[in-house]
Amino acid sequence: MRALTGARVFDGTRILGGHAVCLDGGRVAELVPEALLPLDVPREALGGGILAPGFVDLQVNGGAGLMLAEAQGVADLRRIAAVHARLGATTILPTLISDTDEAKARAIALVSRAAAEGVPGIAGLHLEGPHLDPRKAGAHDPAHLRPMTAADLDRLRAAAAVLPRLMVTLAPEAATEDQVRALSGAGVLVALGHSACDAATAARYVGAGARVVTHLFNAMAPMGHRAPGLAGLALADGRVDAGIIADGHHVDPLMLGVALRAKAGRGALFLVSDAMALAGTEAERFALDGREVRRADGRLILSDGTLAGADLTLARAAAVMAAAGAPVETALAMATSGPARVAGIDAGHLAPGAPADLVHLADDLKLRAVWQAGERLS
C-alpha cells in the first residue's frame, strides 16, 4: 500500500482537507486523515492542489490523430483511450458520429473486443446518430442521417448485449417512442439530441425511456419563453440528465450559469469534451467525411464556421464551469461522479475498492498529474 498526501481530496461529492488517499495496486484502499496514516506507509507528497477521481467523458469522438470511425483495430482504440487518459479522462465512451452501417458494425465489434481485452479506460460505446433530424445535423454529414428501421433496432439491441455500456443519441424525428421503449428495455442509455422537437414531444420520449440530452443547447431548437423545446424540457425535468460542452464557445458562459442553476436538484448536468481527432496532438486540421476541420481560437470549425466537435479537455471544462459560478465541488462532480452515475460506470469516485484512477489538479483546476489503475501516467 502507498499513500498520496499533501492535497485536498475530492471524493466525488465533497472536498476533504488533511486526508490521504491510500492505493493498493489498481484500487483505492482507503481515505484516511493524514495524522492517522501509519509511519511505515510509503508516501508521495503532492504539494497542494486537489486530488480527484479521474474524469469520465461520455462523448469522445477521437484523439491521437484518429476518429473512432478510422480505428482499424483494438490498438487504435488503445491509442485513443491512452491520449485521453493523459489528458485526465481515465474513463471514456468512444463515440461514433453518424456514419455508414458498416462503420457502425465495425465500431461495435472493436469496442466490444477492447472491453473484453481490458483496454484501460474503455467503458462502452456511444453512437451519436445516424437517427437524427437533418435540420439539426450540425457537423454530421446529412447524407448519413435517416430514420431508424426495425433492422436498426435489432442491431442496436444485439449490440447492447455484447457491450459493457451502449449509449445512443437519437432524435424524435427519426425514431418512434416504441423504438425508444425497446432500446431502454434492452439496457441502452437513450439520449435525445440533434433535434428540433418541442418540449411536449421530448417529454413523451422521456416517458418512453430516454434519460439523457446530448450537448445541451447545441443542435436543438433555441429555448424560448413560449417554446421551451428540448433544452427547456432538459432543464425542467428531473428524470433527464444533460451533457454540456463548457468551452465558452458552444454555450455562452452566461448560459452555462443559467443551466447550472436551473438543473440544480433536477437530474445531473455533466461535462463532455466532444473531443475530435486532434485531441492530444499539435495538429491544426483533420478531415471529417472529406471536409476539412481546423483549429481556430480554441474552436474546431468547418469551412463555413460550423462548430465540429470541441478543442477541450474536462479539466478546462470544469474550470470554465467554476468561472461561470459553479462551486469547485460541483464543477468536479460534473466531470467525475455525475457522468459515471448517468452511464452506470464504476468510476468517478474515491472510496475503498474504487478504481485507482485519479487526477491531481492545481487550485485553478489545471491538470498536474494522472494515475490510471494506480499507475502514474504524467
- pLDDT per position as a tens digit, 2-60: 999 999 999 999 999 999 999 999 999 999 999 999 989 999 999 999 999 999 999 99
Whether the pTM exceeds 0.85: the reply is: yes
| Catalytic entry in 11, 57, 152, 274 | 274
DSSP per-residue codes, 116-127: HTT-TTB--EEE
> What is the CB neighbour count within 10 angstroms for residue 235?
22
Contact in structure between 325 and 334 (CB atoms under 8 Å): no
Instruction: Please work out, in degrees rounded to the nearest 5, the angle formed at the alpha carbon of residue 355 by the alpha carbons of 349 and 357.
Output: 80
Q: Please give the grid coordinates belonging to residue 23.
A: 492505493
Specify burial of residue 352 (Cβ count, 10 A radius: 0-12, 13-18, 19+). exposed
Query: In 3D, which of 103, 214, 216 has the Cα closest to residue 169?
Result: 214
Q: Please give the grid coordinates belonging to residue 84.
A: 485521453
Residues 6+ apart with CB under 8 A from 55: 88, 89, 90, 91, 314, 315, 335, 336, 359
Residue 378 confidence (pLDDT): 78
Residue 350 confidence (pLDDT): 98
Query: In 3D, which of 159, 84, 96 has the Cα closest to residue 132?
Result: 96
Residues 6+ apart with CB under 8 A from 162: 108, 112
SS3 252: coil
Measured N-to-C along each axis, helices 314-323 and 253-263 cross at an angle, to the nearest 10 degrees, of 80
Please state, in angstroms and as integers, the Cα–Cα distance from residue 280 to each residue in 80, 110, 306, 361, following that order. 9, 21, 22, 18
Residue 128 phi, psi dihedral angles, 5° rounding: -100, 95
Instruction: Please work out, in degrees rounded to the nearest 5, the angle formed at the alpha carbon of residue 5 by the alpha carbons of 91 and 325.
Output: 60
User: Is 274 part of the annotated catalytic residue set?
Assistant: yes
Cα separation, 230 vs 151, whole angstroms: 27
Cα separation, 337 vs 53, whole angstroms: 8
Query: In 3D, which of 264, 247, 338 has the Cα closest to residue 52?
Result: 338
SS3 23: strand
Contact in structure between 50 and 363 (CB atoms under 8 Å): yes
Residue 310 confidence (pLDDT): 96
Q: Please give the grid coordinates belonging to residue 6.
A: 499533501
> For cell 485513443, what's the residue?
80
Residue 22 confidence (pLDDT): 98
Query: In 3D, which of 69, 71, 70, 65 has the Cα closest to residue 83?
Result: 65
Residue type, 14: R
Which residues of the chain have a pLDDT value below 50?
A: none
